[in-house]
Structure 1
Amino acid sequence: MRSSIRAFVRGVDAFNRRVGRFAMYLIFAMLAVLLYSSISKTFFTPSIWTLESAQFLMVAYFLLGGAYSMQLDAHVRMDLAYGRWSPRTRAVVDAITVLMLIFYLVMLLIGGISSTEYAIEYKETSYSAWSPYMAPIKIVMCFGIALMLLQAIATFFKDVYAARGETL
């Protein structure tokens, strides 16, 4: 059982590392779109697609990078008492809170899948002048939430083993 959990954790960590490294470069694509938007508004006819494209790139950057951020333990933590606790106590508290995160992510993924199905079935578009299809960004959204869910499960296993005084 331990070897299968170890393989799961390593596989999830490796995949999220690759996706997170890719997502880091989306910020440059977003900056390029915003730079083009500024130049086109100043010197040419303003483009109707730039603002929404930048928003979609930011959503992809945020959601695809979330699991990698969790893997690196780079998220914000309120540290009133946490820093004074023993590593085992921290692991127990982290395991409990990650269970709440898993529940939240499952609910979020269920809603995201439902919304994506709707967008695909009815060819949903944005209410802007550009009116792009919403399905692609909703698929990216569901993919990012699923990656975060897998990383939360992997983190839960790491915390359980750390609470038992073992390393995974």
Structure 2
Amino acid sequence: MKVWNMVEKTVDMICEGMGRIGWLLILYCMIFGVSDVFFRYVLNSPSLWIATTLQVAMVLIACMGGAYSLNSDNFVKLDLFYARFSKKKKAICDIITVPISFLFLGVLITKGWDAGMLSLKLKQVTPTSVPIPLYPIKILIPIAAVIVLLVVLKKLVNDIITILSKEDYEVDVIADFSKNKVD
């Protein structure tokens, strides 16, 4: 159990770092997005590089923010039924969706890595007047997907632990008994 706690803390620490990087990227997008509009429309002097770097930053926000949001349970969910489920029922629902996550992340990792390596091999840059290298970003996409995969695995193990534990069952039985007693 100590090993699992260390694994969890490591994944949490990596995701927290990615969240902080994502926060800085959002700040970058806000500052330079407003600056680009100011340069373009007020000074009538558009930037040659800001729009391209904002696009790159948006991709990186998705990479960094995705792992952080999944780890922190900040994704928007359709809680119509899910919110009323017990912990065990929620864990079962989450386990049912894991194969879809594995499939998506597997494709993203394998195809993303191939695209990143090809981009590195070709030394791919943006086709703009200011050439910005694209290969670092293309390589970061599958790396971020691996981190998301670690989060999915962490959540899967925790869901299995939840299903196998007896504590939640006792709480559910007491809650059901209390509910029936009140009725």
TM-score (norm 2): 0.82
- Measured after TM superposition, the shift of residue 130 of structure 1 is 3.6
Identify the residue that residue 34 of structure 1 maps to in structure 2: 33
Could you say if the C-alpha distance between residues 68 and 95 of structure 1 is closer, same or farther in structure 2, counting changes exceeding 3 Å?
same
Instruction: Supply the distance in 2 between the matched residues of 1:73 and 1:97 (Cα, whole angstroms).
Output: 15
Residue number in structure 1 paired with 2:3? 4
The Cα shift of 1:166 comes to 6.6
Q: Deviations over 1:62-88 (max 9, x none)?
A: 211111111111101112321222210
The whole-number CA distance in structure 2 between the counterparts of 1:135 and 1:50 is: 18
Query: Which structure shows the bigger proportion of residues in helix conformation?
Result: 2
Structure 2 CA distance for aligned equivalents of residues 141 and 47 of structure 1:
27
Q: Distance in 2 between matches of 1:98 and 1:7?
A: 23
With structure 1 as the length reference, what TM-score do the two structures score?
Answer: 0.89
Q: CA deviation at 1:44?
A: 4.6
Contact 2:117 2:139 in 1 (8 A): no
Query: Greater CA deviation, 97-106 or 121-130?
Result: 121-130
Kindly provide the amino acid, as one letter, of the partner of residue 43 in structure 2: F
The reply to whether residue 152 of structure 1 matches residue 148 of structure 2 is no
CA distance in 2, matches of 1:119, 1:64: 21
Residues 12, 71 of structure 2: 8 Å contact kept:
yes
Cα distance in 2 between the residues matched to 1:32 and 1:85: 42
1:76-95 correspondence runs (5 A):
76-95=76-95
Deviation (angstroms), 1:8: 1.6
Aligned length: 166
Q: What percentage of aligned pairs have identical amino acids? A: 24
- The answer on whether the counterparts of 2:25 and 2:57 sit within 8 Å (CA) in structure 1 is yes
Gaps of at least 5 residues in structure 2 are 168-183
Matched with 2:101 is: 101
Structure 1 alignment gaps of length 5 or more: none
Shift of the 128–18 alpha-carbon distance from structure 1 to 2, 3 Å rule, reads same
In 1: Cα distance, 2:106 partner to 2:7 partner: 18
Q: CA deviation at 1:59?
A: 1.2
Higher relative contact order structure (alpha carbons within 8 Å, sequence separation ≥ 6)? 1
